[in-house]
A and B are shown apart, each in its own frame.
Chain A
Amino acid sequence: MGREDILPNLVSEMRRGTLVLCVLARLGVPAYGYSLIEDLAGTGLAIEANTLYPLLRRLESQGLLEATWNTDGAKPRKYYSLTELGGQVLTELTMQWQATVAAMNAILKETT
């Protein structure tokens, strides 16, 4: 297995852990799945639909998101938004993330 095989796996593995935080962070405002994919892609973080949709459902079943169907438009859309619990988890995860980033920056600074 060469560098070209190993690197994408490692990058994918590293990003996988950040997905929940990304999704929770963007759902302070209600959004449906496909709009969230486009929104995240616009920030430079591409997420595949077959990963995001099951993730949204899992977060909903955990009580971190709530969902409502909007049938006013031409296509029915399921809108997700943060619950109170989701907001609390987002705050905690954000703090953890910032601590991790600070620690990682310190580690990387020492090695470069």
Chain B
Amino acid sequence: MNTPTNPDLVARYLYAVTRSLAPKTRPDVEQELDGLISDMVSERCGDATPTDADIRAVLTALGDPDEMAAKYSPDGQGALIAGSYFVIYKRVLRIVLPLAAGLVAVLTALSFVLDWVQDPSSVPLVRAAIGQVIAAAIEAPMVAFAVITLVFAGIERAKTSSRGRDFLAGLPAVPKAAERIKPHRPIVSMAFWVALTVVFLAVPQVIGGWTEAAGWQPVFTTAVIRGRWLPIIAWAALVIVKDVVRLVDGAYTVRVAVVTVVANVLIGVCAAAVFLAEGIMNPGFVAHLDDFMTGSGGRVVWVGGEHLNLAVLAIVGFALAIETVVAIVKTAVNRVR
């Protein structure tokens, strides 16, 4: 709708209503509501040019865009996670749970193959091994379901407590296509971290390297890494919080930037708690590190001695720092625009 007064406010309102709807229904709902707003403005103003106050009055009469979005998604009404967030919640679960289950099942099966290559007698009977693969494939989606539900419930609660405020003042800016966070990124990230968490805690030995001399060598000492279950789960939970906020906002908002900064600082603490643990790196892996790094193109020599854990921690810290800076810069650019 092209009102000369405040078309941006209408665009923001339409974006706020439709952003959580299924992508295929968004354009249709947006066009229909745009026509409705145009009709309501026309009825209010007749032939006169609508003022800013007219637009605000019409949008206020239409009501809170979150409540409108919730009415477009009635199947979540009255639930722990309802309305507009329920659509996103369902989409996340539908993708993350099977992906996490599949990844964990494959990796658990792989761990048995690796163990069998090393020492056939250490592998349980086929029936028991299949049972363990199925158990791991059930455990991963259960963990993911619990964490994702808690995160969405927290966001839903925050939204509910902010109801009644001037919703027009809080309408989100409509991001340009390049500024939007593509929904598949946070969803895939969540599935990856859930699978990685379960692998770290259930079958950490699948992360490793193989040489003819030493056979398969896990990177981490299994008992030590399992002992650090709390920071590992907290790490995954923080990643999920970060990804859910990205998914809900769909763009680099101030909330995304704040959550990214806080979550990444806490993830850094969790990473330090994991990788600074005494004996975290498997001595067998560290001893053969040079062999693992020998490829057809030459040889990379590890000169860090037994401090491989510090190198891993530094890489994690670097990745977190890059992500934090990108989030801050993109948010700042959006706000300046």
Residues of A within 8 A of B (CB): 32-34, 48-51, 53-55, 57-58, 69, 75-78
Contact = CB atoms under 8 A, between A and B. Distances in A.
A53 B36 contact: yes
A51 B62 CA distance: 9
Nearest to B1: A75
Nearest to B65: A50
Interface string B68-83: 1001101000000000
Nearest to A69: B31
B74 A49 contact: no
Given A49-B40, A53-B36, A57-B72, A76 B67 contact: no
Contacts of A34: 35-36, 39-40
B32 A78 contact: yes
B2 to A, nearest CB: 11
A33 B32 contact: yes
Interface of B: 25, 28-29, 31-33, 35-36, 38-40, 61-63, 67-68, 71-72, 74
A30 to B, nearest CB: 15
A75 B32 CA distance: 10
B36 A33 contact: yes
8 contacts: A32-B35, A49-B62, A51-B71, A53-B29, A53-B36, A57-B72, A75-B39, A78-B31
B68 A76 contact: no
A75 B74 contact: no
Contacts of A53: 29, 32-33, 36
A50 B74 contact: no
B35 A50 contact: no
B281 to A, nearest CB: 55
Nearest to A32: B35
A49 B36 contact: yes
Nearest to B37: A49
A3 B72 CA distance: 32
Contacts of B39: 34, 75
A50 B67 contact: yes
A50 B63 contact: yes
A69 B31 CA distance: 10
Q: Select the residue from A49, A50, A69 with max chain B CB neighbours within 10 A.
A: A50
A50 B72 CA distance: 9
A54 B35 contact: no
Contacts of A55: 71
A48 B25 CA distance: 21
Contacts of B33: 53
Given A33-B36, A48-B63, A75-B38, A54 B68 contact: yes
Given A34-B39, A49-B40, A75-B38, A54 B72 contact: yes
A23 B127 CA distance: 59
B32 A50 contact: no
Contacts of B32: 33, 53, 78
Contacts of B67: 50
B31 A50 contact: no
Contacts of A33: 32, 35-36
Contacts of B38: 75
Contacts of B29: 53, 57
Given A48-B63, A49-B62, A78 B35 contact: yes
A82 B337 CA distance: 46
A31 B40 CA distance: 16
The 7 A-B residue pairs with the shortest CB-CB distance in the complex, in nearest-first order: A54-B71, A34-B39, A54-B72, A50-B68, A50-B63, A78-B32, A75-B35
